[in-house]
């Protein structure tokens, strides 16, 4: 399936007409499909290439070295999470992956510093840490621009989301799906799920495998060109818009048997707001035909609930 392709440059540096057209194109794609491929996204190709190189180096470390970076009490929100620890909401089967997470960085005197644990520094690969920081900032900038377009589509002020996502609780996750070494119990590497956050930005994975569930109930492969990123709606945005913008169900499937010996690497950026943001359904997204679906909650309350549901928090 060729998912809709949008050009972010039309929004960030185009004419007023191009900007307005982008807003409608993006909004309709999210209503109808839930995923878009974004070109001219502003994340440097070399930065992405460096990041993937260091990610592969990290996951090639011996397990005993990686386990030094699995920090108890952080619910996987910083550092390493070992193979099989996470599962999809509603599923007992562990996902066949290990991952490393990098979060928001703020100064020691910042009011949100108590909420944001220090990031875990990988001593074996010094350049990894700086590259994670630069990639995080780059994803954050592109995601903020996309949210500005979404705000306009929802008839909100263009900068409605800005203050919520500036210094927000976003997460950059580096994922490794190891080679398959024996007959798997399932064809699924990561069970079907929806993302927790506002939007997810995903640079091209190192191998195919991502599938989305269409409104017709069919699983289709998601492919994008190397110069594009895939961006999807998460549950927080779905709640906020009272289901106007739907969080799309997706999964990662095993490769063909001849590729079982290969690893798959992926690098999603989960764009979260500050924990204080209200996810109460927008008045503009409710009427007598579309009554309020969700109870009020803050982003922090909802994140905490979901981390428990997927097994990362007790």
Q: Quick one: CATH architecture of 41-309? A: Sandwich (2.60)
CB 172 within 8 A of CB 267: yes
Instruction: Report d(CA 144, CA 152) in Å as an integer.
Output: 13
Q: Among candidates 194, 198, 173, which has minimal Cα distance to 273?
A: 198
Strands of 250-253's sheet in order across: 188-193, 250-253, 210-213, 219-221
- Report d(CA 206, CA 173) in Å as an integer: 14
| In contact, 67 and 98? CB cutoff 8 Å | no
Contact of 85 with 94, CB cutoff 8 Å: yes
Integer Cα distance of 255 and 261 in angstroms: 10
In sequence order, what DSSP letters do the residues of 125-136 get, joined into one string?
Answer: -HHHHHHHHHHH
Burial class (CB in 10 A: 0-12, 13-18, 19+), 224: buried
E strands of the chain, at which residues? 5-7, 35-39, 79-81, 98-103, 171-177, 188-193, 199-203, 210-213, 219-221, 229-233, 250-253, 264-271
pLDDT tens sequence for the chain (314 residues): 568 899 999 999 999 999 999 999 999 999 888 888 899 999 999 999 999 999 999 999 999 999 999 998 887 789 999 887 655 565 555 667 899 999 999 999 999 999 999 999 999 999 999 999 999 999 999 999 999 999 999 999 999 999 999 999 999 999 998 887 776 666 566 678 889 999 999 986 545 778 888 877 888 888 767 788 989 999 999 999 999 998 889 888 877 777 777 788 889 999 999 999 999 999 999 999 999 999 999 999 999 888 887 777 66
């Amino acid at each position: 399936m060729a998912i809709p392709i949008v050009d972010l440059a039309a929004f960030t540096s185009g004419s007023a007409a191009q900007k307005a057209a982008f807003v409608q194109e993006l909004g309709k794609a999210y209503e109808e499909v839930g995923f878009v491929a974004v070109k001219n996204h502003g994340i440097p190709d070399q930065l992405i290439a460096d990041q993937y190189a260091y990610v592969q180096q990290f996951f090639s470390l011996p397990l005993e070295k990686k386990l030094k970076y699995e920090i108890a009490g952080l619910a996987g929100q910083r550092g390493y999470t070992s193979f099989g620890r996470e599962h999809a909401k509603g599923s007992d089967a562990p996902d066949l992956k290990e991952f490393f997470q990098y979060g928001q960085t703020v100064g020691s005197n910042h009011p949100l510093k108590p909420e944001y644990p220090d990031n875990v520094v990988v001593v074996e690969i010094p350049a990894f840490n700086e590259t994670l920081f630069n990639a995080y900032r780059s994803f954050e900038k592109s995601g903020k621009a996309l949210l500005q377009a979404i705000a306009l589509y929802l008839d909100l002020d263009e900068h409605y989301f800005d203050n919520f996502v500036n210094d927000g609780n976003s997460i950059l996750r580096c994922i490794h799906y190891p080679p398959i070494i024996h007959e798997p119990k399932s064809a699924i590497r990561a069970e079907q799920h929806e993302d927790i956050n506002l939007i997810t930005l995903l640079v091209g994975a190192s191998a195919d495998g991502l599938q989305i569930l269409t409104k017709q109930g069919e699983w289709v492969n998601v492919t994008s060109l190397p110069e594009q990123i895939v961006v999807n709606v998460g549950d927080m945005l779905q709640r906020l818009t009272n289901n106007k913008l739907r969080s799309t169900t997706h999964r990662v499937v095993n490769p063909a048997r001849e590729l079982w010996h290969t690893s798959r690497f992926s690098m999603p950026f989960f764009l979260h707001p500050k924990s204080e943001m209200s996810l109460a359904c927008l008045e503009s997204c409710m009427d007598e035909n579309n009554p309020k679906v969700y109870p009020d909650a803050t982003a922090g309350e909802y994140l905490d609930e979901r981390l428990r549901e997927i097994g990362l928090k007790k």
